[in-house]
Amino acid sequence: MSELFLQVFEGAFAPSVILYTTVGVFLGVTVGAIPGLSGDMAIALLLPLIYRVAPAAALGMLMGIYKGSMFGGSISAISFGVPGTPAAVATVEDGYPAKLQGRPKQAMLTALYSSVTGDLLSTLILVFIAVPMAKAALHFGPVEFFALYVFALMMISLLVVGEMKKGIAAAAVGLFIGTIGMDPMMGSVRLTFGISSLRGGIPLIPLLVGVFAVSELLVQFGKECARLSGEKMAAMEEQARELVGYDPAKDRMSWKIYRSTFKATLVGSGMGTFIGALPGAGSSLAAFMSYGLARKLSKLQEEFGKGSLEGVAAPEAGNSATAGASLIPLFAFGIPGSATAALFGAALVMQGINPGPMMIEENKVIIYTLFVIIIYATFINLFLSRGLIPIYAKLSRIRACYLVPTVFALALLGTYASRNSLFDVWILLAAGLLGIFLRKHDFPLGPFVLGFIVGPGAEKALRQALLMGRGEWSFLLKSPIALAFYGLCILSLALLHFSALKKKIVEED
């Protein structure tokens, strides 16, 4: 036990690990602060580059990006009224008005402190829940696992922001693309059309980088927003400067102000942790639901939307609390809870760690090291961001016309470098086009990626279960745990159907 503790301590506090984690947090806040770039994109871009870095340092860096980007989105949301990431859209509601009232520092620090509080609480829940859940999952067989995969796919399709049917369609496409290549049971080659490079299946990294990063860059270039974004933000800043004569004396952060927003922070943290742990719900939904609930529970409801600091604290705590919680299904069952967790799962695989119930048992040192890194990355985020907020606000004004081509070149070269394969570059570009198609028609990317990643596991579980049941489909319903998962699927579908029906009736009235 003490040997394990020493190994974890040495691994987590090695100077290189602390350095990589700090760089990750800095990168995360920076990309979060720049509208158009996001934490997902940065993690996807770095995936091909972390082959040569030690597992703890590489995973610490990615974790730092994840955490940093959650707060980073609020910087441009408060400074310019332009959310840096989709998760920060709810922060604009009160953050930007607070800035216009001459309280940018209070709004920014409220966002930072609530973000860190939410993040820390959900991380602690991850640490204390993932291990017992993984132990319980060790008793799962193929029947239970197949039911769990169905539940995860159903939830990610139902809970995505947008239309449920499109979520299911995107998941189905991901599942199908995941079947290309070797059959996971017999090893026969499927759907390769004679292309030998496809025998191992569609490579994960080019697909992820293409769908998340390249498609977003192509969209930005296609809209020529590159020419406009910098000028737009400069104009908004000028407008804000004209509206208020800024007095730094009136814009001081105090313990009293933090305490006044603490209830909203706790509401956001609870909501974010709950939503983050559900497969697929995501940080944007958590932020909006936290904002709505905090508003309902606040004594100063009428202040919301007019620069209320509670209205800044709740969504920021909510979106940051999803960071730790969304890793719970990944660490316990090997099923990513969100698109970002899927990227993190891919990073684990690249480092030779296979996500699943056995992951913690088989990789105790690295996983416990990761837990420690996740906790101290929160404090790095706090201290780094506290000191560098003015610089981050300036970074968010970097012109997109320079960023988009540079990031695109990094994506192309990084993908090529990961396996020195030109085939990967073609997959990257094709995935970018597929990503544009899905985004343009409002198909969520999360279910697509989750379908692709869990597809082989789900297929293996299904076929093993059918073999055990001698081809009888009813065998899939013989386990009470599996039945509970199917029951939850039906219940969620029914709840969503009735809430949509109720909304329609209210609208008609």
Partner 1 sequence: MHTTNDATPTEARRRFNLRSDRLPGLLFMLASLFFFSFTLTGRWSSGAGIGARLFPQLSLAVMFVSGLVVFRSAGKKEEKKKFGDLDMRLVLFFLALAVLLFFAVLHLGLGVGVFLYLLAMFLFQLRGRTDFFRYAILPAFGISIFIWALFTYFVRIVLPTPLLF
Residues that bind partner 1 in the complex, under the rule CB under 8 A = 49, 52, 163, 165-166, 168-169, 171-173, 175-176, 179, 183, 185-186, 188-191, 217-219, 221-224, 226-227, 401-402, 404-406, 408-410, 412-414, 416-417, 420, 422, 425, 429, 432-433, 436-437, 439-443, 451, 455, 458-459, 462-463, 466
Closest contact distance (angstroms) between CB of 248 and partner 1 is 34
**To the nearest whole angstrom, how small is the minimum distance from the Cβ of residue 172 to partner 1?**
4
Residue among 223 and 296 whose Cβ is closer to partner 1? 223
| Spatial CB neighbours of 490, under 8 Å, sequence gap ≥ 6 | none
Cα–Cα distance for residue pair 163/483, rounded to 1 Å: 26
Q: For residues 411 and 124, what is the distance between their CA atoms, to the nearest angstrom?
A: 34
Nearest distance from C-beta of residue 333 to partner 1, angstroms: 19
Q: Cα separation of 401 and 386, whole Å?
A: 29
CB nearer partner 1, residue 368 or residue 448: 448
Nearer to partner 1, 372 or 458 (CB): 458
Tokens read off for 127: 């640490």
Tokens coding 401: 């016309």
By C-beta, is 192 or 260 nearer to partner 1?
192
Nearer to partner 1, 218 or 382 (CB): 218
Distances in whole angstroms, Cα of residue 345 to Cα of each of 174, 297, 356, 497: 16, 36, 10, 32
Residue 219 Cβ vs partner 1, minimum distance, rounded to whole Å:
6
| Distance separating alpha carbons of residues 154 and 493, to the nearest angstrom | 9
- Given the complex with partner 1, which of 226 and 327 has the nearer CB atom? 226
Nearer to partner 1, 16 or 301 (CB): 16
Q: How far is the CB of 338 from partner 1 (least distance, A)?
A: 21
Query: How far is the CA of 94 from the CAs of 98, 99, 269, 316, 394, in angstroms?
Result: 6, 9, 18, 11, 21
Give least dist CB 380 to partner 1, A. Answer: 22
| DSSP-assigned beta bridge partners for residue 189 | 182
Smallest gap from Cβ 226 to partner 1, in A, equals: 6
Q: Which is nearer to partner 1, 358 or 413 (CB)?
A: 413
Report the C-alpha gap between 161 and 319 in whole angstroms. Answer: 14
For partner 1, give the closer residue by CB, 224 or 472: 224
Nearer to partner 1, 358 or 467 (CB): 467
Q: How many CA atoms lie within 13 A of 67 on its CB side?
A: 38
Q: Which is nearer to partner 1, 243 or 501 (CB)?
A: 501
Which tokens belong to 87? 């998760």
Least gap, CB of 142 to partner 1 (angstroms):
13
Minimum distance between the CB of residue 57 and partner 1, rounded to whole angstroms?
13
CB nearer partner 1, residue 190 or residue 250: 190
- Bridge partners for 182 per DSSP: 189
In the bound complex, what is the minimum distance in angstroms from residue 150's beta carbon to partner 1? Answer: 11
Q: Which is nearer to partner 1, 359 or 465 (CB)?
A: 465
Helix (H) or strand (E) segment spanning residue 189: strand 189-190
In whole angstroms, what is the distance from residue 418 CA to residue 425 CA?
10
- Structure tokens that stand for 179 in this block: 């079947």
Which of 344, 361, 466 has the alpha carbon at shortest distance from 136?
361
In Å, how far are 188, 223, 324, 461 from 364, measured between CA atoms? 35, 47, 18, 25
Q: 61, 23 in Cβ contact below 8 A?
A: yes
The kind and range of the H/E element at 275 are helix 262-277
**How many contiguous H segments (helices) and E segments (strands) does the chain have?**
23, 2
CB of 379 to partner 1, least distance (A): 27
In b/e form, how buried is each residue of 101-138, taking b as 16+ CB within 10 angstroms? bbbbbbbbbbbbbbbbbbbbbbbbbbbebbbebbeebe
Residue 459 CA, distance from chain mean position: 25
Q: How far is the CB of 310 from partner 1 (least distance, A)?
A: 30
Shortest Å, Cβ 301 to partner 1: 30
- State the Cα torsion 350-65-33-120 to the nearest 10°: 140
CA torsion angle for 206, 209, 215, 217 (degrees, to 10)?
-130
Three-state DSSP at 36 gives coil
